[in-house]
Chains A and B, each alone.
Chain A
Amino acid sequence: MAIAEQDGNASGYAAPETNYINNGYGLKSWLLTKDHKRIAVLYMISISIFFAVGGLFAGLIRLELLTPQGDFSHSDTYNKLFTMHGVVMIFFFLVPSIPATLGNFLVPIMIGAKDLAFPRINLLSWYVYIIGGTLGVIGILAGGVDTGWTFYTPYSSTYSNSNVLIVAFAGFLAGFSSILTGLNFIVTIHTMRAPGMTWFRLPLFIWAHYATSIIMLLGTPVIAITLVLMMLERAFGFGFFDPRLGGDPVLFQHLFWFYSHPAVYIMILPSMGVMSEMIACISRKRVFGYEFVAFSSVAIAILGFLVWGHHMFLSSQSTYAGMVFSVITFLVAVPSAIKTFNWTATMYKGSIVYNTPMYYVMGYLGLFLVGGLTGLFLSNMGLDIHLHDTYFIVAHFHYIMVGGQVMGYLGGMHFWWPKISGKMYPEALGKASAVLVFLGFNLTFFPQFVLGYMGMPRRYHSYPDEFQILNVASTGGASVLALGYLLPGIYLIWSIFKGANAPQNPWGAKGLEWEVADTPPTTFNFESTPVVTEEAYQYGPIEEH
Chain B
Amino acid sequence: MWTDFPLFPEQASSFALKVDGIYFATVLLSVFFAALVSVLVIIFAIKYRRKSPDEIPRQIAGHIGLEIFWTAIPLVLALGMFVWSTVLYFHITTPPANTLEMYVVGKQWMWKLQHPEGKREINELHVPLGQPVRLTMTSEDVLHSFYIPAFRVKKDVVPGRYTSLWFEATKIGSYHLFCAEYCGTEHSRMIGKVHVMEPQDYQNWLTGGVANEPMEVAGERLFEQYACHTCHKVDGKGRGPSLVGLYGKSVGLEGGGSAVVNEAYIRESILNPAVKLVAGYKPIMPTFKGQISEEGVMQLIAYVKSLKAPELTSVE
Contact = CB atoms under 8 A, between A and B. Distances in A.
A389 B81 contact: no
Interface string A528-545: 000000000111111111
B85 to A, nearest CB: 4
Interface string A219-246: 0000000000000000000000011100
Given A389-B147, A469-B5, A314 B155 contact: yes
Interface band, chain B: 35 or more
Contact of B160 (A249, A381, A390, A457): A249
A155 B45 contact: no
Interface in A343-401: 344-345, 347-354, 358, 362, 365-366, 369-370, 373-374, 376-377, 379-383, 385-386, 388-390
A389 B180 contact: yes
A383 B19 contact: yes
A386 B37 contact: no
Interface in B105-160: 108, 141-143, 145, 147, 149-150, 152-156, 158-160
A32 interface: no
B160 A243 contact: yes
Contact of B6 (A358, A380, A454, A540): A454
Nearest to A455: B149
Contact of B145 (A352, A389, A455): A389
A502 B79 CA distance: 50
A309 interface: no
Interface in B50-98: 50-51, 53, 55-64, 66-67, 70-71, 74-75, 78-79, 81-82, 84-93
A154 B74 contact: no
B26 interface: yes
B26 A376 contact: yes
Interface stretch (A137-145, A180-188, A209-217, A329-337): A329-337
B26 A380 contact: yes
Interface band, chain A: 35 or more
A461 interface: yes
Contacts of B142: 152, 154-155, 158-159
Contact of A376 (B6, B81, B185): B81
A435 interface: no
Contacts of B223: none
A75 interface: yes
Nearest to B159: A243
Contact of B179 (A353, A358, A457, A538): A457
B217 interface: no
A470 B232 CA distance: 58
Interface string B169-194: 00000001011111111111100000
Contacts of A316: 155-156, 158, 161, 163
Nearest to A322: B89
A73 interface: no
A218 interface: no
A507 to B, nearest CB: 11
Interface string A122-164: 0000000000000000000000001010001011001110000
A309 B45 CA distance: 40
A328 to B, nearest CB: 10
B86 A330 contact: no
A74 B313 CA distance: 64
B281 interface: no
Given A315-B158, A352-B44, A455-B178, A152 B67 contact: no
B86 to A, nearest CB: 6
Contacts of A349: 48, 57-58, 60
A155 B143 contact: yes
Contacts of A469: 5
A385 B142 CA distance: 20
B184 A159 contact: yes
A85 interface: no
Contacts of A453: 7-9, 23
Interface stretch (A17-25, A281-289, A407-415, A492-500): A281-289
A286 B34 contact: no
A284 B34 contact: no
B40 interface: yes
A351 B158 contact: no
A97 interface: no
B187 A545 contact: no
A11 B208 CA distance: 91
B184 A541 contact: no
A70 interface: yes
Contacts of A333: 74, 78
B184 A155 contact: yes
B67 A286 contact: no
A347 B44 CA distance: 6
Given A377-B26, A386-B19, A457 B178 contact: yes
Contacts of A544: 61
Interface string A502-545: 00000010000000000000000000000000000111111111
B62 A292 contact: yes
B78 A154 contact: no
Nearest to B66: A345
A45 interface: no
Q: Give the most central of A155, A380, A469: most B CB within 10 Å.
A: A380
Contact of B156 (A315, A377, A381): A315
A344 B40 contact: yes
B40 to A, nearest CB: 5
A249 B158 contact: yes
B100 interface: no
B2 interface: no
A350 B56 contact: no
Contacts of B230: none
B29 interface: yes
B85 A382 contact: yes
Contact of A148 (B33, B41, B59, B182): B182
A343 to B, nearest CB: 8
Contacts of B8: 453-454
B207 interface: no
A347 B45 contact: yes
B56 A540 contact: yes
Nearest to B68: A292
Nearest to B264: A316
A491 interface: no
B154 A385 contact: yes
B85 A284 contact: no
Interface string A173-216: 00000000000000000000000000000000000000000000
21 contacts: A75-B186, A154-B141, A158-B142, A159-B108, A283-B48, A284-B57, A289-B67, A326-B86, A327-B79, A337-B33, A341-B66, A345-B66, A347-B41, A347-B45, A347-B48, A348-B44, A382-B91, A388-B145, A463-B188, A542-B59, A542-B60
Given A75-B188, A377-B26, A389-B154, 5 more contacts: A243-B159, A290-B61, A369-B34, A382-B18, A455-B150
Interface of A: 70, 75-76, 79, 146, 148, 152, 154-155, 158-160, 242-244, 248-250, 283-286, 288-292, 313-316, 319, 322-323, 326-327, 330-331, 333-334, 337-338, 340-342, 344-345, 347-354, 358, 362, 365-366, 369-370, 373-374, 376-377, 379-383, 385-386, 388-390, 450, 453-455, 457-464, 466, 469, 508, 537-545
Q: List the 10 shortest-distance A-B pairs measured between CB atoms, nearest first.
A: A455-B149, A243-B160, A382-B88, A381-B89, A373-B30, A289-B62, A460-B188, A380-B85, A330-B78, A389-B180
